[in-house]
A and B are shown apart, each in its own frame.
Chain A
């Protein structure tokens, strides 16, 4: 059957190639069809390893592997890809941009449907390339940001590659099921950091707010979905048994991202920090997903709950984060302004955008009745059940920050002040994209069982979404944030640009790199000059032997200096013949010196 043979990635990659050359309308239609088709395929394709090939003559690779995890990723990637292409179409993205975007979707699909590490890294690196192209395509300041992105992801990808190579050297097979995760020790550390670049570990995250606000608004919608979520998926493959440090890193990301976001004025920059924060929850879920992490129940259900929560959060997050980038994109599309400092009072003019934004904001903040509440609750619940109080506090605190920053974004964009002049709401295509995704956010929020049916480890854990404490938690966080916002409203407006770690390491790389490059080139130029001078001197000595001896002899004591016959050449050059004489004493000295030297050499 065709479902077993054709990897979804090929479908989208072919569509990408065609979209670049076909007429604009047709190309986009094909893009929607291909990505939508992928979602359908993900739904229908039977589990198992479908496309086993031998790569490079000896590596048993599985190009197309379907299990619960890759099915979930394929489903949501395909769906959101289709929505994003519709949005691109409505937002006047040109054919080439959509072609790059589709190639990015295709390579991400290749990565999540990989059944082995070699295929994964293959598509992982290609994903870095295609996303870079998507950023570059916008030109201007996005080019340089894209280059920084490319270098950082080159480093991350290389680390993961090194980890995989080491893993292969130890295990002898590349398939996922040959060994649970990446071999512990150095390879696992390298994999964590390499994947950590993609998921935005604190300290490695600065590419997110640096890159994502710069390209076209539709490009941002694609970007906010695929790289980081493929990263979470990769993290799970590398650490299926979880790791406590990774769990705490997730907690740190949740808090750091949410509160740094609070200080931002550029809307897409704010949302980018929230990617880090939300991915932090997923990373925490992946980190908790092992029996050995924290307090384990006898059935292992808490570990299953954590992993299922992580993947549920991947699924939900893709929905509401794409929705957020789309609504903010509509604002930028209609007003041409990127910063909250220059906006306000848009709610009256843009009701569809405002309402869908509200749904997305309540979802990401985890308000009961919206989808974020379900999956975030699962992760926080797992942290609680495993008795990891510190992590639990981090995750809850991150929730407060999330509420706060979305109250800020919504308040300053839609409520506060007045927008001078006319501004229209989202156009028809954009509205279709916004409303369909917003509908799903509510649907999965109100009927969480629909979501649970998609998640892995079905039936291996117990989780009731709407319990008193859960709802109290969600509403309580919102109330705390509302009060806090009322207090902090003034200071949070017009914060200005807040430097991040990239302020330091960009300078380090740039000036350090410059010093290194100039230093090395100058050193080699000096070595080369010396070598060339040496050769010239040798040539000259060969051409003027007597003159050379004459010049050298000036450094000798008087008694050793050569003499020459009187006939000086008329042109002032060297005499044609030299007479070297020495007294008996000097001769014996020289002879002894030579003999001693030879004795040493012989020994």
Chain B
């Protein structure tokens, strides 16, 4: 309830629609299901105290116990944006960026994941989750979500929307780890590792995604640019911001030095140890998809310019890009002056694509918003802002750089940065 006004804050039709959707999903969907699940657990186990329900649930009718797990997981899964219950999340990105950071990176979605962690680790406990066979189902849903969301993210041209789908995908890393706790507990190995990987991804994702959202925010505030296709060459205008973005984007793909590598490593090790190597394959594939949808933003920002741009791979432009095409046609002059796409035309195509998966938000408004939206570099290309913070207020840059640095610290010294140590306590409690 408290976050509804934040989502609908802009008071536009799109924001209201997103707010209604948000409320419908999380309140009626999530809240009611969680309450129902809790009631069912109470009926089956006679208590709702964490850590004491598992014994009662183990002796209850397995079908009902499974139903209770399913209801609880679905209830929390709304907030954890498990597909197909994720649809509120990409729409809620109409909220102002700091709120999006809160919604998508930290508070709301993580509360859903936290709920699932409670359910798996303390209400049912991994052993029972494994014996009932529900852990593997949860993991399968998470695996599906993290792949499908990455594929959808490839097409989203609005930066915040791409980040939102990335969130959907990354949250499922955590859920995957928790789901695998069941099979791992039954197999007797890897429980510790999957729990560690899953839970460590909570802070890891928070640091990385908060960096990305804050970057999207400062880009919007400083340049009014919301669309990736308008961001070519923006590294000139916002070098520090885009560097932080690049670091976080690399972390999302599980590149070492950044937090994402550590949690992915633990998850991979755990899933293989638990004898569920197929989930390791999904995780690895997701890393490659992350490269595919984040890195074009990075290279576009730093290594292309407003005038010489190629369009982003897969969804727009010809095979190999415009520049690659002219280079092969004329070998001796690698930097061809021809083949420059009309940026305006490009952007227009993307908006069409964009509106497809945004159909439910008010269409009329969507069009209207584009008319008065003045993003991009302008005809003269981006100004050069330099590396000393000329790109925006330090009140925005400071937090961005601090969080990006945090994600690196967490990537190199996760244990010393307290999080992994805390998680070990959790894991010990679980295995005990």
- Chain A residues in contact with chain B, CB under 8 A? 54, 56-57, 118, 121-123, 125-126, 129, 136-137, 139-147, 150-151, 154-155, 158-159, 161-162, 165-166, 168-169, 186, 214, 266, 336-339, 342, 497, 506-507, 510-511, 513-514, 516-518, 520-522, 524-525, 527-529, 531-532, 535
A271: min CB distance to chain B, Å: 15
Q: Is B111 an interface residue (CB 8 A)?
A: no
Residue pairs across A and B with Cβ atoms less than 8 A apart, 25 shown, are A125-B261, A126-B255, A136-B302, A139-B305, A140-B334, A141-B321, A141-B324, A141-B327, A141-B335, A144-B310, A144-B320, A144-B324, A147-B295, A158-B284, A161-B284, A166-B277, A169-B190, A214-B327, A214-B334, A336-B332, A338-B332, A510-B319, A517-B154, A521-B152, A528-B357
Residue in chain A with minimal CB distance to B327: A141
**Chain A residues with Cβ under 8 A from B273's Cβ?**
169
Q: Chain B contacts of A506 at CB under 8 A?
A: 319-320
A57 contacts B292, C-beta separation under 8 Å:
no
> In the complex, A126 Cα to B255 Cα: how many Å?
7
Question: Are B324 and A145 closer than 8 Å at their CB atoms?
Answer: yes
For B190, give the chain A residue with the smallest CB separation: A169
Bound Cα distance A228, B418 (Å)? 39
* Most interface-central of A126, A144, A151, A339 (chain B CB within 10 A): A144
B284 touches A524 (CB 8 A): no
Taking CB atoms, residues of chain B closer than 8 Å to A511 are: 319
Contact A129 B357 (CB under 8 A): no
Q: Give the complex CA separation of A516 and B319 in angstroms.
A: 16
The smallest beta-carbon distance between A75 and chain B, in angstroms, is: 25
- Contact assessment for A136 and B319 in the assembled complex, using a CB-CB cutoff below 8 Å: no
Chain B residue nearest to A336 in the complex (CB): B332
- Please state if A520 and B331 are interface contacts (CB–CB under 8 Å): no
Given the complex of chains A and B, what is the CA–CA distance between A137 and B302 in angstroms? 8
Closest to B356 in A: A525
Cα A338 to Cα B308 with chains together (Å) = 22
Chain A residue numbers with a CB within 8 Å of B334 are 140-142, 214, 338
**A162 touching B151 by the CB < 8 A rule?**
no
Our pick among B151, B291, B357, B415 for the contact of A525 (Cβ within 8 Å) is: B357
Residues from chain B with Cβ under 8 Å of A527 in the complex = 84
Q: Quick check: B308 and A520 within 8 Å, CB to CB?
A: no
Q: Is the CB of B155 within 8 A of A528?
A: no
Residues of A within 8 A of B304 (CB): 139, 143
Chain B: minimal CB distance from A405 (Å): 18
Binds A, one of B102-110, B264-272, B342-350: B264-272
B24 and A535 contacting across the interface, CB-CB below 8 Å: yes
Residues of A within 8 A of B261 (CB): 122, 125
Q: Could you tell me if B288 and A139 are in contact, using CB atoms closer than 8 angstroms? A: no
Nearest residue (CB) in A for B272 is A169
Interface string of B18-34 (1 = CB under 8 A from A): 00010010000000000
Question: Is the pair A516, B151 in contact by a Cβ cutoff of 8 Å?
Answer: yes
- Give the shortest distance, in Å, between B41 (CB) and chain A (any CB): 23
Nearest CB in chain A: distance from B243 CB, A: 12
Contact of B87 with A by CB under 8 A: yes
CB contacts (< 8 Å) of A161 on chain B: these are 254, 265, 268, 284
Q: Mark B323-343, 1 if CB is under 8 A from A, else 0.
A: 110111001101110000000
B299 within 8 A of A: yes
Which residues of chain B are near A532, meaning CB under 8 Å?
Answer: 21, 360
Q: Which residues of B contact A166 (CB under 8 A)?
A: 272, 277, 280
Q: Are B313 and A510 in contact (CB under 8 A)?
A: yes
CB distance from B194 to the nearest CB of A (A): 12
Interface residue ranges of B332-391 to A (CB < 8 Å): 332, 334-336, 353, 356-357, 359-360
Q: Are B284 and A159 in contact (CB under 8 A)?
A: yes
A43 to B107, CA, bound (A): 54
Query: Which residue on chain B has the smallest CB distance to residue A536?
Result: B360
Interface string of B52-87 (1 = CB under 8 A from A): 000000000000000000000000000000001001
Bound CA span A154–B287, Å: 8
Query: Of all chain A residues, which has the CB nearest B310?
Result: A144
B152 touches A520 (CB 8 A): yes
A520 contact from B148, B266, B324, Cβ within 8 A: B148
Interface size on B, residues (CB 8 A): 68
B425 an interface residue at 8 Å Cβ cutoff? no
- B421: Cβ under 8 A from any A Cβ: yes
Residues of B within 8 A of A139 (CB): 303-305, 308, 335
Complex Cα–Cα for A107 and B17 (A): 49
Given contacts A141-B327, A161-B254, could you give 17 more A-B pairs where the C-beta distance is less than 8 Å?
A56-B420, A123-B256, A126-B256, A139-B304, A142-B334, A143-B304, A154-B288, A166-B277, A338-B334, A506-B320, A513-B154, A514-B315, A517-B315, A520-B148, A520-B152, A525-B359, A532-B21
Q: In the complex where A141-B334, A336-B332 touch, is A154 in contact with B155 (Cβ < 8 A)?
A: no
On whether the beta carbons of A520 and B151 are closer than 8 Å, the reply is: yes
> Which residues of A have CB within 8 Å of B280?
162, 165-166
- On chain A, the residues within 8 Å of B314 by CB distance are 510, 513-514, 517
A146 to B421, CA, bound (A): 39
Q: Which 10 A-B pairs have the closest CB atoms?
A: A57-B415, A141-B327, A158-B284, A169-B272, A144-B321, A165-B268, A122-B256, A136-B303, A532-B360, A140-B335
Selected contact of B415 from candidates A56, A122, A126, CB within 8 Å: A56
B424 at the interface (CB under 8 A from A): yes
CA distance A214 to B334 in the complex (A): 8
In the complex, A513→B415 CA distance in Å? 39
Do B327 and A507 touch (CB < 8 A)?
A: no
B206 at the interface (CB under 8 A from A): no
With A527-B84, A535-B24 already in contact, the answer to whether A57 and B303 are too (CB < 8 A) is: no
Nearest-neighbour CB distance to chain A for B48, whole angstroms, equals 28
In the complex, what residues of A have CB within 8 A of residue B321's CB?
Answer: 141, 143-144
Give min CB distance, B192 to chain A, whole Å: 9
- Given the complex of chains A and B, what is the CA–CA distance between A534 and B414 in angstroms? 46
B313 lies within 8 A of A147 (CB): yes
Which residue of the partner chain A has the closest CB to B264? A161
Contact of A126 with B299 in the complex, beta carbons under 8 Å: no
Q: Which residues of A have CB within 8 Å of B315?
A: 514, 517-518
B158 to chain A, nearest CB (A): 13
The verdict on B406 contacting chain A, using a C-beta distance below 8 Å, is: no
Asked, given contacts A165-B268, A528-B360, whether A266 binds B331 with beta carbons under 8 Å apart, the answer is yes
CB distance from A410 to the nearest CB of B (A): 20
Q: B245-269 vs A: 1/0 string, CB under 8 Å?
A: 0000010011111000110011011
Q: B285 — which chain A residues lie within 8 A by C-beta?
A: 158
Contacts of B190 in A (CB 8 A): 169
| In the complex, residue of chain A having the shortest beta-carbon distance to the beta carbon of B152 | A521
The reply to whether the CB of B296 lies closer than 8 angstroms to some CB of chain A is yes
Are B299 and A143 in contact, CB atoms less than 8 angstroms apart?
yes
Contacts of B281 on A, CB cut-off 8 Å?
162
Residue of A158, A186, A520, A532 with most chain B CB atoms under a 10 A cut-off: A158
Residue of B nearest to A522 (CB): B356
Give Cα A151 to B420, complex, Å.
30
Contact check, B155 vs A57: say whether CB atoms are below 8 A apart.
no
Are B155 and A521 within 8 A (Cβ)? Answer: yes
Q: How far is the CA of A49 from the CA of B305 in the complex (A)?
A: 47
Looking at the assembled complex, report how far the CB atom of B389 sits from the nearest CB atom of chain A, in whole angstroms: 15
A126 touches B357 (CB 8 A): no
CA–CA, A150 to B155, complex, Å?
Answer: 19
> B273-298: contact bitstring with A at CB < 8 Å (1 yes, 0 no)?
10001001100110110011001100
Residues from chain A with Cβ under 8 Å of B284 in the complex: 158-159, 161-162
Among residues of B, the one whose C-beta sits closest to the C-beta of A512 is B314
B299 adjacent to A57 (CB under 8 Å): no
Q: How far is the CB of A342 from chain B (nearest CB, A)?
A: 6
Residues from chain A with Cβ under 8 Å of B424 in the complex: 57
Contact of A342 among B291, B310, B332 (CB under 8 A): B332
Which chain A residues border B313 with CB–CB below 8 Å? 144, 147, 510
Set of chain A residues within 8 Å of B420, measured between Cβ atoms: 56-57
Task: List, in ascending order, chain B residues with CB within 8 A of A57's CB.
Answer: 414-415, 420-421, 424
Task: For the complex, give the distance between the alpha carbons of A166 and B278 in Å.
Answer: 12
Please tell me if the beta carbons of B308 and A528 are within 8 angstroms of each other in the complex.
Answer: no
Q: How many Å lie between the Cα of A57 and that of B320 in the bound state?
A: 44
Chain A residue with the shortest CB-CB distance to B86: A524
